[in-house]
Amino acid sequence: MGFFMKKKTHTEIKINLLLVIFGVIFFMTTVAGECEFKAVFNFGDSNSNTGGYYAAFPALHPPYGITYFKQPAGRASDGRLIIYFLAQSIGIPFLSHYLRSIGSNFRYGVNFSTVSSTVVKQNDTTISPFSLDVQLNQLKQFKQIVDDHYSSDLHIPQPEVFKKSIYTIYIGQNDFTKMLQSCSVNNMSALRDVGSGISSTIKEIYGLRGRTFLVFNLAPMGCYPELLVESHNALDIDTSGCLIPCNNAVDAYNSMLRAELDQARQELPKGDLIHVDTHAILRGIFDNPTSYGIEFATRACCGYGDGPYNYKPDVVFCGNSKVVAGKNVTASVCCDPGKYMHWDGIHLTEATNRIVAAAILGGSYFYPPFPMSDFCAI
């Protein structure tokens, strides 16, 4: 059987090697603590939310958190997120959320992201009230508290930490899906507002002494069950089972975002504004899932409806039960989330998040090149 296995690409081999040594990396960085970055401040949506939204609006229930936490832990996944793996790789533990009132430790940074957050404010009750500008104001408030009240016995960082931190920004997915109409963006100027909103946020944080920014671009949304279940022409599906028009729209947005960062980089000469190409990483997995141990690339692990996508949120969403046609139905979980890319049709599994984080740490998906190993022992 081994003689007939598909030959892996250099990138696939590199990522798989990183996954093998991931545990060693975490052990070494946690023990040594040798990193110039002393904290992480994260802004975003459910892709990096670690409990903020559910601290304000409790709602999560099993099977969320089933893989790692064994119970719901405020993450829209079965386990850990990309931000966790990145932070731990430089010796930083779980990031406490700004809205969490009990058990928080902000010495190593803060997570401001929440589920359903957007860059541009939306007149939509299904969208989080904690848009990017609100998250920015929370950072300003936090910095003021640190500057005015720092004490070694408080669970807050030293005032000089803001210049020695990484600022991660992973947001835009909800803005994008709200603008879609038949898998095409009907308002390109509104889409540009998303990129410029991220850019202006970076400039304000720069004014607060922030210098290092990792900005994640948008995933290939045309490969997500959330959009694949929409009515479409068979000719719109590519060889990986993804919607071509949707991914073309994503490419247009990502190009705008990169242009915005290029312009901002010229205005902020002392800053490192790094474009993180998560899109390329995820696209590589969608195109060759078995190379990464994934069996189901476009099917939700937790969902209802079976079929190719196992996703019918209009009937019942992951973990929920409902009476349909006189029968009680439940959107149940798959047997092995580790074999799926998608958790609930909108969010990724821990297995996928781990692969993405390993690829990012490899350094090949930064633009411009950013030698993380020069700053941290990874």
User: Which residues form the catalytic set?
Assistant: 46, 344, 347
Residues 6+ apart with CB under 8 A from 336: none
Q: Are 11 and 356 in contact (CB under 8 A)?
A: no
Measured between alpha carbons, how far is 174 from 187 in angstroms, rounded to an integer?
15
First-last CA distance in the chain: 36
Task: Return the ∠ at Cα 140 (arms to 139 and 146), rounded to 5°.
Answer: 85
Q: Are 45 and 173 in contact (CB under 8 A)?
A: yes
Measured between alpha carbons, how far is 130 from 44 in angstroms, rounded to an integer?
10
DSSP 18-60: HHHTHHHHHHHHHHH--BS--EEEEEESTTT-SSHHHHHS---
Residues 6+ apart with CB under 8 A from 9: 288, 291
Place of tokens 């058990």: 103
Measured between alpha carbons, how far is 302 from 318 in angstroms, rounded to an integer?
5
Query: What letter represents residue 314's amino acid?
Result: D
